[in-house]
């Protein structure tokens, strides 16, 4: 049996105050035969998807990220709370510039043969003495993140979840 986890009210309220959500494609309880990936989303969407593919009847976080990107192309904003490795949060807190490096076929050290399946890779850039200027140029305000960090710490006992906002600026 799958367990469902609800967003703590303080987290949702803080996000809703900033974004004013008009749609949740992952409601709980889930209506019978409902598929949040198959319906049109609203103008401003709150997305707390299943954290694992096996927990959702129609997909996990990757499917919802793809749908949010599709909705972004239609002019809609989506705010997703998705699981992430803790080192990504450490990089964000340090003001890292994050880029997709694509899917890389790493080479075996001795034979130089590429691996069979490519790995999705994140490129993180930590710039010396330019952190604040760079993060502001990327639209990432470290002061705003600090307030989110405090909310996450209060609610999760020091464990953070990455806040990833898909907006029109990424087109």
Mean pLDDT score, 12-23? 96
pLDDT tens-digit series, residues 84-101: 888 988 898 888 898 888
Whole-Å CA distances, 21 to 6, 24, 41, 94, 114? 16, 8, 11, 29, 45
> What number is the average pLDDT over the span 147-166?
43
- Per-residue pLDDT band at 52 (split at 50, 70, 90): confident
H helix or E strand, kind and range, residue 44: strand 44-47
Per-residue pLDDT reduced to its tens digit, 105-119: 888 899 999 999 888
18-27, 70-79, 121-130, 133-142: range with lowest mean pLDDT: 133-142
Domain boundaries of the chain, sorted by first residue:
1-89+140-171, 96-138
Residue 166 confidence (pLDDT): 33
Asked whether 81 and 163 are in contact (CB, 8 A), the reply is yes
pLDDT of residue 150: 53
Whether pTM exceeds 0.75: no
Q: Which of 136, 138, 139, 160 is nearest to 148 (CA)?
A: 160
List the alpha helices (DSSP H) in 36-164. 61-73, 86-93, 131-137, 142-156
């Amino acid at each position: 049996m799958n367990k469902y986890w609800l967003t703590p009210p303080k987290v949702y309220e803080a996000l809703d105050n900033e974004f004013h959500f008009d749609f949740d494609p992952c409601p709980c309880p889930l209506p019978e035969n409902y598929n949040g990936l198959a319906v049109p989303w609203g103008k401003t969407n709150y997305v707390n998807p299943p954290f694992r593919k096996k927990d959702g009847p129609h997909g996990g976080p990757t499917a919802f990220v793809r749908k949010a990107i599709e909705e972004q192309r239609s002019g809609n904003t989506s705010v997703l709370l998705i699981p992430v490795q803790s080192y990504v949060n450490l990089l964000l807190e340090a003001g890292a510039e994050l880029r997709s490096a694509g899917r890389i076929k790493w080479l075996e050290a001795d034979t130089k043969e590429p691996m069979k399946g490519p790995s999705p890779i994140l490129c993180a850039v930590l710039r010396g003495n330019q952190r604040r200027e760079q993060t502001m140029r990327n639209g990432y305000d470290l002061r705003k993140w600090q307030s989110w960090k405090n909310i996450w710490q209060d609610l999760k006992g020091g464990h953070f979840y990455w806040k990833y906002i898909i907006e029109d600026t990424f087109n």
